[in-house]
């Protein structure tokens, strides 16, 4: 399946769902009172889906992979902050584990996306699509020229 929009990527959807779960957690738990940890956790969760969407728009497999790796690092940072929240007594181990499971699901999908983006297949697909776009632009130019000549 070829994605035509970043929100079609399972990695983005899972990272986004994790981000929303973190937002809910920091609003509805004792974490809300610890401004520093709350902000660190929230700020670490936000870039994951953002970086995946930015990479998708770059249309270069190597650059896309670089940004997805940054998204992965943000999710791992969140895992550390969740442990810190347990250590400080703000959330239970069960709540942490629930959020870690979400993060791990996203990380698994992100790992698969990185593997694909670093593959020769991704480079071939990107080049094929690039050539098709160039061909379409040229066909539109020629059609405009013919239309202008007819006028």
**Residue of 67, 57, 83 whose CA lies nearest to 15:** 67
Tens-place pLDDT, residues 115-149? 999 999 999 988 988 898 899 999 999 888 888 87
Q: Can you read off the two tokens belonging to residue 49?
A: 């889906």
Number of Cβ within 10 Å of residue 53's Cβ equals: 18
HSE-CB for 43 with a 13 A CA cutoff: 6
In terms of CATH, what superfamily is 7-118? 23S rRNA-intervening sequence (1.20.1440.60)
pTM of the model: 0.86
**Residue of 138, 132, 135 whose CA lies nearest to 146:** 138
Question: What residue spans define the domains of the chain?
Answer: 7-118, 121-151
Between CA 7 and CA 56 the distance in angstroms is 10
């Amino acid at each position: 399946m070829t994605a035509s929009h970043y929100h079609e990527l399972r990695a983005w959807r899972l990272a986004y769902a994790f981000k929303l779960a973190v937002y809910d957690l920091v609003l509805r738990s004792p974490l809300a009172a610890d401004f520093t940890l709350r902000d660190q956790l929230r700020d670490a969760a936000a870039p994951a889906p953002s970086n995946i969407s930015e990479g998708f728009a770059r249309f270069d497999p190597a650059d896309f992979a670089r940004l997805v790796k940054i998204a992965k690092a943000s999710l791992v940072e969140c895992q550390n902050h969740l442990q810190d929240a347990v250590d400080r007594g703000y959330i239970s181990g069960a709540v942490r584990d629930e959020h870690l499971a979400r993060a791990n699901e996203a990380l698994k999908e992100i790992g698969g996306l990185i593997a694909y983006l670093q593959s020769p297949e991704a480079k071939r697909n990107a080049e094929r699509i690039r050539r098709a776009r160039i061909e379409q632009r040229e066909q539109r130019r020629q059609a405009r020229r013919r239309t202008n000549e007819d006028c």
